[in-house]
Amino acid sequence: MELVTKRPRGTEDKLPKEIYKWHTVEKIAENVAESYGCKEIRTPTFEHTELFLRGVGGTTDVVQKEMYTFNDKKGRSITLKPEGTSGAVRATIENGLLNDALPFKTYYFTRCFRYEAPQSGRLREFNQVGIEYLGTASAAADAEIIALANDIITNLGLKNIRLELNSIGCPKCREQYHKALKEYYTRYKDELCGTCLERLERNPMRLLDCKSEICSSYKDGAPMILDYLCDDCKAHFDSVKKRLDALGVKYTVNPRIVRGLDYYTNTVFEFISNDIGSQGTICGGGRYNGLVEEIGGAATPGLGFAMGLERIIMVMENQQLDFEPEKKCDLYIASFDEETNIYAMELVKQLREYGFWAECDISGRSFKAQMKYANKINAVYCMVIGEDELKTKSAKLKRMSDGTETPVTLDDKFAQKLNTLVMDICL
């Protein structure tokens, strides 16, 4: 029978045989985030479209070209979230979390959706870990959140990752910069792509982010934002760099980084790998001091970053790094008939209550087929319950890797003693 349909283009199935890789990355990210005082938040997969129009910005490619937007049954415009920050900030405002101790620090794992050409490292449905700090304008917070991202990368064991840093200033100094960009790009007006012609009038900084070969060729000669920073923005950026130097976080200043979302102000940064081709940015973020107010909250400074989990795993695979070992069945209990199978089920229940992954036959397999199944699921140990074992309440624990057998007593404390027993056998 032919499959009714296949997965949509630009999506991936995360299969059981690969999921341990995801668990490795998620566990390390979670541990590092919590060591910095971040608490987890979970927000809806879709939001009202207005959130992204106001937060992400109407001049971005994300809003103009990439969002999955539809009307619900009552005609309200709904969008699958293209990024995690706007939803996290909306939830923070709506639930009064800014009334708690500040800065409010949070982390999340989320799926995002963008309609763009699928390629290696770029999917239409992708996964991110995000970190957000709200309620602090200090350069110390910028340095800390960059150090947090760096710690996740270091703890994952990633190599040859470079941090690129920039400041895109505040609205005050960007006004002068926009004028300079307009003047520069107007000379090439006839060669610019249609999208950039629109950007030239509405948000000229977006021209620096264009991937078109022609538009990109003019980027090197364009004015640099660092030459237009006001005194406060210069001082803030210098303070961020001093703190990163003190923390031993290596970076390169790249004045061409602008990030792809309109809410960014001041510090922006990217962690980049050369091991996954052109889609080398594995983490990006920065400060967004106007976002809370734009969404409808009181003026509150904020900053954050997101890491692409698919890209991180690609780098780890390409660098042949170790993942947390795939979990295996601790013990498979084979049986011969209904009576011994019932007893095996009792033992398995006891083992599971103590946290073991234990299994027995639930398919009516023959003894030979049960042993084949135990091998297929990579059971670490196997135990056979037959008529004699049932009578004597004793059996032999067999280590599948080398056949070593150890006698065990099947009493009420069997599961409790098994952990110590297994440790002794391993030694």
For residue 30, the model assigns a pLDDT of 98
List pLDDT tens digits, range 121-144. Answer: 889 999 999 999 999 999 999 999
For residue 427, the model assigns a pLDDT of 39
Per CATH, 19-170+230-318 and 331-426 having the same topology is answered no
Query: Which two tokens mark 44?
Result: 């809806």
Residues of the chain with pLDDT under 70: 58-59, 260, 421-427
Q: Where are the domains of the chain?
A: 19-170+230-318, 331-426
Query: Which two tokens mark 34?
Result: 């919590």
List pLDDT tens digits, range 160-171. Answer: 999 999 999 998
What CATH number labels 331-426?
3.40.50.800
What CATH number labels 19-170+230-318?
3.30.930.10
For residue 426, the model assigns a pLDDT of 46
For residue 348, the model assigns a pLDDT of 95
Burial class (CB within 10 angstroms; exposed 0-12, middle 13-18, buried 19+) of 383? buried
Angstrom distance (rounded) from CA 236 to CA 239:
5
For residue 422, the model assigns a pLDDT of 62
What CA–CA distances, in Å, run from 70 to 36, 46, 47, 54, 125?
A: 38, 10, 11, 17, 16
Angstrom distance (rounded) from CA 82 to CA 115:
9
